[in-house]
Each structure stands twice: as structure tokens, then as C-alpha cells.
A and B are shown apart, each in its own frame.
Chain A
Amino acid sequence: MNRLALVATLGALMLAGQARAVMPDEQLADPRLEARARAITSQLRCVVCQNQTIDDSDASLARDLRIIVRERLLAGDTDSQARAYIVDRYGSFVLLKPPFESQTLLLWLGPLLVLATGGIGVGLYLRRRGYDSRAHEAALSEAERAELRALLDADHGA
């Protein structure tokens, strides 16, 4: 019985975690603008609680930024202009999808670099092994070949 209560409580808590922090009074009347605002704010990091989006965060600064994004859209900004308004003030750190720029080159190209380095390493290793085995093959003398043939024949004969 206790276990059931625990499961129910945890389940309720997990559902509660799904709730968004966007309050009804912040939302725009125009559903298309509101959808654009949600798309933007769900990709912006809250600078107070850094692993949440400003869409999720209860921080009062996150609320201010949600309202600012909506104000920008109402004022006729494009999505990227509204996003740039926040980035100008808080830096590209707030973008949960980091842009491709000189500072983030290592971030974007790092995995490719690691893959390429590993690939070259494996390639070199395999090439050397391949070379070695061919060398062994060539090293078989005529006498050894005869011996091998005799063994194989004996095997077949038995």
C-alpha cells in the first residue's frame, strides 16, 4: 500500500515536471505569433538556472525575457531579430543550439577531427598488418610448400 502511494507520488511529480513555466498572462492572443515565440524561447538558455530553457524556467529574469521576445515579435521583428536581441545582451551562450562561428569551431569540428585522427590511425595499423602478412606469404620457401602439400594430402588420404 505504501509502495503504491510512493509510485503514485513519484508519477505525479514526473508529470508535474512536464509543466511549462509560461504563464497564461504572458501568452500572445495571436496563436501564430505565440507559436513563433515558443519556438524561440524553447531554444534559449536561462542564464539564472543554466540547464533550463527560458520557456521552462520559473526565474523572474526568464519571465522577463519571455515577455521581451513576445514584445519584439509584436513589434514586427523576425525570429532571428528577436533571438539576436537576447544574444546581443547575454552572449551566444544563451543559444542552446550553438552557432557555427570562430569560437565554436572546435565544438562543431572536434568530433570530425577525432574521427579523422582515429580513422588515419586504424588505416595505418591495418596497412602495416596487411603488409606483414603478405611478407610472411612470400617468405614460404619451396621446401616448406612441399611439406605443406604433403601434410594436406595425408589429411585427405586418411
Chain B
Amino acid sequence: MRRALFVLPAALFCLVIAAFVVGLGRDPAKLPSTLIGKPLPAFSLPPVRPGDAGLKSSDLRGAPRLLNVFASWCVSCRIEHPVLLDLAAKGVALDGLDWKDAPADGAGYLAANGSPYGRIGNDASGRVGIDLGVAGVPETFVIDRRGRVRYKQVGPIDPRDWELTIKPLMDRLRAES
């Protein structure tokens, strides 16, 4: 009984400290998405480059795919861009959402850096991004064959994120019926 009175508070204290240590390692900028497990909100966006098809939420189904939110004014998108080009070359289904950006600026960015995207929608007002809960760029949604959001990556995808998190998830989604 006496021993428990000493050990119990000490154990509780250690538990609290452990929770704080874990919490310190987390990046508070990475907010969980409220869309996980839910279908994408319906949207229909005009293209970035004139003559392209634009992007509708109904395009984003059929096979597991990525939806990358980017902008020409976004610095870390430029860091992420080679990784996206590499994924596209590997045959990963990838569409783009050009967020809070003038179509001409988005088109200039793609002309200068190459486009890894299948379809690209321009969200000049940013309202579709807000419906998706986008807090900044880049963000990337992993979408399953039924058009439901399964994961959101906040910040640029680096090769490690791809190998350790996104690729295994997409492999699992592909195995789903």
C-alpha cells in the first residue's frame, strides 16, 4: 500500500513526461484531414492551360490516385516537383490542383518545370481548396478507386515519404476491390 502510494504518482509523472516528449516531436503544422474516409466534395474546375480538360471531382475515381495541390508562388512545390515528375514517369496516376493562382501563372510554372499531372484544375479563388481543407501548399491527397480520400500528405513529398508511406498505401488500395 505504502509502496503503491509512492510508485503510482511517479509512474503517472513518467507517463505525462512521455506524452510531452512524443508531442514535442510532432509538427503542429501537419493537421489531420477531416476528409479521411469520406468522398471528395464535388467540384468542377477550369483548366490551367487553355484547351486542357480541367478537373472535376468525378474524374478522381476508378483507380487509386494522387491529387497534388500546388501553386506557382509556392517555394516548397518547386522542391517537390522533381519527385512528382519521377512518380509520373513511373506511371503513378497524378492530378493537379493549382490553388489560389492565376491560370497564366500556373501555366508558366508548368511550362518552365514540366507537368507531371494528368488533369489540372485551376482554383483561382481558392474555394475548392478550402472545401478540401487545404491549409497551404503543397498538400497531396491519396484517393481510392471509389473517390474517397484515404490519406493527406502535408508538405512536399520526398522520396522517403513515397517509399515508406504513400506507395505502400497505394499498393493496399490497389488490392482493395
Residues of chain A at the chain B interface (Cβ within 8 Å)? 47-48, 50, 60-61, 64-65, 68, 87-91, 93, 117, 121, 124
B37 CB-CB contact with A under 8 Å: no
A75: shortest Cβ distance to chain B, in Å?
Answer: 14
Contact between chains at A61 and B133 (CB < 8 Å): no
Interface window among B26-34, B48-56, B59-67, B85-93: B26-34
A89 touching B31 by the CB < 8 A rule? no
Pair A90/B131 contact, Cβ less than 8 Å: no
B133 touches A91 (CB 8 A): yes
- With A and B bound together, what is the CA distance between A153 and B72 in angstroms? 98
Interface of A, secondary structure class, is: helix
In the bound assembly, the distance between CA atoms of A47 and B100 in angstroms comes to 16
Whether A64 contacts B34 in the complex (CB less than 8 A), given A47-B135, A121-B9, comes out as: no
Interface size on B, residues (CB 8 A): 19
- Chain A residues whose CB sits within 8 angstroms of the CB of B131 once the complex forms: 89
Task: Known A121-B5, A121-B9, A124-B5; judge A90-B133 contact (CB<8 A).
Answer: yes
- Assuming the A-B contacts A48-B135, A48-B136, are A88 and B130 also in contact, with contact meaning beta carbons closer than 8 angstroms in the complex? no
Given contacts A50-B28, A60-B100, 4 further A-B contacts (CB under 8 A): A50-B29, A64-B127, A91-B32, A121-B5
A64 to B31, CA, bound (A): 19
Answer whether A93 and B31 are a contact pair too, CB < 8 Å, given A60-B100, A61-B135, A121-B9: yes
Q: Contacts A88-B34, A89-B133, A121-B9 known; A61 to B126 CB distance under 8 Å?
A: yes
Distance, CA A50 to CA B135, complexed state (A): 11
Expressed in whole angstroms, the Cα–Cα distance for A91 and B136 within the complex equals: 15
Given A47-B135, A90-B135, decide whether A65 and B5 contact each other with a Cβ distance below 8 A.
no
